[in-house]
Amino acid sequence: MREITLGRRQAQDDLECLDEEELEDVLEKMSRYIGWVVIYFNSLEGIISFAIAEIVSHDAIQDDRMSVFLAEMQYSGKCRALINLYGQMIEYAEGKYTVEELTELENLLVECGKRRNEYAHADWIGVTDNKYVCVKTQAKKRGVFERYKKFEITQMQEDIDFICSARDKLEEFDENLNDQFYGR
């Protein structure tokens, strides 16, 4: 997957968008992968929310109250909260997991968020004739810059697999840590 960063004016001058027919063909091929990234990412976020609720409360009424807070939190806030809760459990339990392993899990979850954001916030309607898609616009002191990425099917599948693998690792980590912490 190739990336380029251009000033907005340069991007407008140098990049040409696909015509409607070509765009439809490209999006038809890519939409399946975009959808699976979003679906699996949402599942990952659901697991994070469930894990937080499970740690904080063991009561159905309290779980509903916890859901009120979780519903208002963004993915990154949920990740930080879960990692901090796990960190406390690791410190108290003195067992199987280390802070280094927790940091690896945290990095994995953060990377999932970055990958998902490139799909969810990309300007898919503005695919260029050389198949670049604007994935981020940033205002800086020297102007507005846009980062473009060329999405290829193999990389898109790798992103799906990465998020699925992260889900599996989180579920295993959560189950093992809870078993250890609660003596199950």
Domain layout of the chain by residue ranges: 3-182
Q: Distance (Å, rounded) from C-alpha 51 to C-alpha 49?
A: 5
Q: Output the pTM of the full model.
A: 0.90
Q: In what order do the strands lie in the sheet with 143-150?
A: 3-7, 143-150, 132-140
Query: Mind listing the pLDDT tens digit for each residue in 41-67?
Result: 999 999 999 999 989 987 777 778 888
Query: Mind listing the pLDDT tens digit for each residue in 146-181?
Result: 999 999 999 999 999 999 999 999 999 999 998 887
What is the mean predicted confidence (pLDDT) over 26-30? 95
